[in-house]
Every structure is written in C-alpha cells, then in structure tokens.
Structure 1
Amino acid sequence: MSADFDFGGEVVLITGVGGALGSGVATAFADAGATVCGADVVAPDSEDFQLDDPDRIDFHQGDFTDEDDVERVVSEVVDEHGSLDYLCNVAGTWRGGDPVDETDVDTFDFLMDVNLKTMFLASKHAVPHVRDGDGAVVSVASRSSLEGGEGDGLYRASKAGVRLLTESIAEENEGELRANAIMPSVIDTPMNREMMPDADHETWVDPAEIADTILALCSDATSVTSGAAVPVYGEA
C-alpha cells in the first residue's frame, strides 16, 4: 500500500536541509507539490551539501543558533511566499564517546546549540506564522532521549529537550497548530556508515522513510495528533 500527499500551494521551512535527513525531507515535500524553503549553515555549493537538486528549493543560508539569522530567514520566507504553513526542525548532530565527567564543556555547548537551540529559535519565530495557517511543526528528537546511556549523555539530554519543548509547543497552541516530534535511532547516512562500518546496515532506516512520516504528521491524516513523540527507528 502506498501513501500519496498533496501539499500544493503550501509553504514549508526545513532546517538542516543540506544534511542527509533534511535533503530527504525536502525532496519528499517537493515531490508532494509544496513550496520548499530550506535553511542551512552549509551552502549548496559545498561538498557537504547532500541535496541532489538544490534548484528545487528556495535556499536561505543562515546559522540557526543565531537569533538574528533565524528571524531574517523566517521573515524572508513569509515576505517572499506570503505564508509559512509548516516548520520541520531537522538540524542536529551527534557527539559522544566520553562519560559526563570527562566531557568538555565545549561539547555541551555545541550539542545544546545545534540540537536544542536551533529548534527553539526556529520555533519561536516560525510558530506565529504557522499558527495563522493552522499548520504543523515537526522536530527531530531521538529514541535515545527516552533514557540515559553510557557515553552520549549530553546528546540524549539535548534530544530530550527537543521532545519536551515539542510537548510544550503543542500545549501552548492547542487548537491552533500541531506540534510533534519523531524519534529515529540510527539513520542510514553516509556519515553513519563511515562511523560504524561493521554494523548491520540493513536494519537502519532510510531518510526517505522518515521523510514520509514527517509528511504524514503535517498532513490531514494526523489532524488529531499533537504533542506526540513518534518512533521511526524500525529495527535499528
């Protein structure tokens, strides 16, 4: 059974659009007819930018840990397209390997900035516009945010913050917009394959599959779903 989505005439902003998951989400929305606005600190001409056809999106370069950049990008999107219907907070990263008492404070700042602060700032400035259109916000948390663990406690804490902030946005905007989080485990990306070459890659989830879930959470199919943390980890 296949699922088809129609987002024609609607505008979505995707943070971290140049990454493996962000590019997958952008492609899925573009295929569904949406006007796709993508933001990233990495420019499309960089070898790290993974979206195959950046001409399909309206790209805005910006550092979403910087509130001035976030405010500028959101204003540009609304000015150029007249509305903002959906926000997908995809920007994020992983760091780990050391116990809490051996982790540098710079790692703490980095993870909280990239994973949590970007989600907070994007939501802060986008929510008033998304609310006007009875739209949706979807943010990327993590399966590991549900419990503590060895070696990546700060990553888990930052993603738990994303999940809890999502619940708060849902409560604060009940009846006006929907806010949900997704919880991946290991995503099948080139970086993860390089970091874990001996893992069972067959159990990892393809970014395109996660993108489908994000589209569903923005669609009328989930009109009564808000404040949820949706597993998207398959067998990983």
Structure 2
Amino acid sequence: MNGKVIVITGALGALGKVVVEEARARGARVAAIDHAASQLPATPDHVELGGIDLTDTAQATAAIDKAAAHFGRLDALVNIAGGFVFETVADGDPKSWQRIYALNVMTALNASRAAIPHLTASSAARIVNIGAMGALQAGAGMGPYAASKAGVHRLTEALAAELKGKVTVNAVLPSIIDTAANRSSMPTADVSKWVKPKELADVILFLASDAASAVTGALLPVNGRV
C-alpha cells in the first residue's frame, strides 16, 4: 500500500478508524470522509473531510474531487459509510427502508460514481464495498438492513462488470463485527466468535492492494468464528 492514495468513507466510525490506521501503517495516503465533523488538520499524507452527507450526490462528488485534488490522484475507494436498523416488516416504518437504503446503497453509489473518473487514471484502481453475511439470508427484524446490503452486493457485481479491466470492484461480507455498539446491544453474546475490526481491515486492504489485481466481482465472506 506504500504511497497509494485511498479514500475511505465512514472513516471516523468504529471500523473506519481501524481501516484508516491500518492503511496509514502500510504507507498509504488517506482521505477520510465522514458525516461527523473533521478531527485532524490536513497533512500531505492525510486529510479528513467531515460533515459530508454522502447520500447527497453533489456533496459526495465535491468531497471525492477535493480528496483527489489534495493528493493529485486516487488509487482506491473503500465504502464503509452505512447504517443499521432492526425492525420487523409488520411493525416497522417504511421510512426506515428508505433511510437504510440511502445510507448503505446510495452512499456507496454516489462515492463510486464520483471516484470513477479519478480511479480510471490509476494503473491499479480498486473499489471495496462493505456487504453483509446477513444479506444472504435475512432473519426476523433484518429486512431493511438485509435488503439494503443485498443492494450493495448487486452494485458491486454490476460495477465490477462495467469497469472490468479498469477498476477492480469487490465487497467483503462480514458477520457480526466486534464493536462497542454491538457489544452493548448484545450483552450476552459470545464475542469471541465475532469478527475483529482489524481482521476485517486486513481483508479490505488486501482487496485494495496490488496483490488482489486478479480479483473482481467477488463477495468475500468474513465470518469470524461463527
């Protein structure tokens, strides 16, 4: 990853922070985009773009263009921005489906569309999306989330076909990620079986690396020990 320019969305969240740290530790230059406010001043190797609503096409495009301008190019995009809701179909709110679709699918779509003109100028361009094992077969209460992540899976496949030979496009499909929020919501769970953020970051950064040049259109399960 040494010297590569990577845009990471959702970069100030639980998983995003770890991916940023790991990417920088491997020598990458990182543009960290998030809805939350920026926390650090820009440097030649790192820039944070906070307060960005990636569900808005114009904001997404402006942020990606600013990242490209800061570094002079883009080599990879990691779409981590997203959201989660747990509610049944009968008792839930249809607005939840619209909100989660926007957070999970439209953020990835808007960032990818904005990044494509920059990525196609790179000799080793990558897009990595975050899908979900839970989208392969949805359980009770998982309808909105699973449907939106299934959309991310199909987006990944379509982009991989459209950009073949120019940009590799893949998705990781984690099971439950070991985050503070998940521990709080599932206090009796056996967290030893969950995927650690660093484990997932390692897979994401592999797909963003030169070593994954022959992999595109893959939906890669990251199951932890479940």
Instruction: Out of 170-179 and 125-134, give the one that drifted further.
Output: 125-134
Aligned to 1:105: 94
What's the offset of the Cα at 1:135? 0.6
What's the offset of the Cα at 1:65? 0.7
What's the offset of the Cα at 1:149? 2.1
Q: Return the alpha-carbon distance in structure 1 between the equivalents of residues 46 and 190 of structure 2.
A: 33
What's the offset of the Cα at 1:10? 1.4
Normalised by the length of structure 1, the TM-score is: 0.90
CA contact (8 A) 2:87 2:143 kept: no
Superposed CA offset, 1:38-80 (max 9, x none): 10011245xxxxx9x9987310011111111111111111111
Counterpart check, 1:29 vs 2:23? yes
CA contact (8 A) 1:26 1:36 kept: yes
The one-letter amino acid of 2:207's match is: L
Q: Return the alpha-carbon distance in structure 2 between the equivalents of residues 163 and 54 of structure 1.
A: 33
Evaluate the alpha carbon distance shift between residue 206 and residue 54 of structure 1 in structure 2; reply closer, same or farther with a 3 A threshold.
farther
Counterpart check, 1:9 vs 2:3? yes
Dislocated runs of 4+, deviation >2 Å = 53-57
Counterpart check, 1:184 vs 2:191? no
CA contact (8 A) 2:129 2:156 kept: yes
SS in 1 for 2:8: strand
Counterpart pick for 2:214 among 214, 224, 227: 224
Aligned to 2:151: 161
CA contact (8 A) 2:195 2:223 kept: yes
Gaps of 5+ in 2: none
Q: Return the alpha-carbon distance in structure 2 between the equivalents of residues 157 and 54 of structure 1.
A: 37
Aligned to 1:86: 76
What's the offset of the Cα at 1:219? 1.3
Q: Return the alpha-carbon distance in structure 2 between the equivalents of residues 74 and 97 of structure 1.
A: 33
Normalised by the length of structure 2, the TM-score is: 0.94
CA contact (8 A) 1:141 1:182 kept: yes
Q: Return the alpha-carbon distance in structure 2 between the equivalents of residues 94 and 19 of structure 1.
A: 13
Superposed CA offset, 1:163-187 (max 9, x none): 1100000000111110000000100
SS in 2 for 1:93: coil
Q: Return the alpha-carbon distance in structure 2 between the equivalents of residues 171 and 185 of structure 1.
A: 26
Aligned to 2:129: 139
Aligned to 1:75: 65
Q: Return the alpha-carbon distance in structure 2 between the equivalents of residues 201 and 176 of structure 1.
A: 39
CA contact (8 A) 2:9 2:16 kept: yes
CA contact (8 A) 1:44 1:54 kept: no
Aligned to 2:47: 58
Superposed CA offset, 1:173-224 (max 9, x none): 1111100000001000000000001100111111011000011111122111
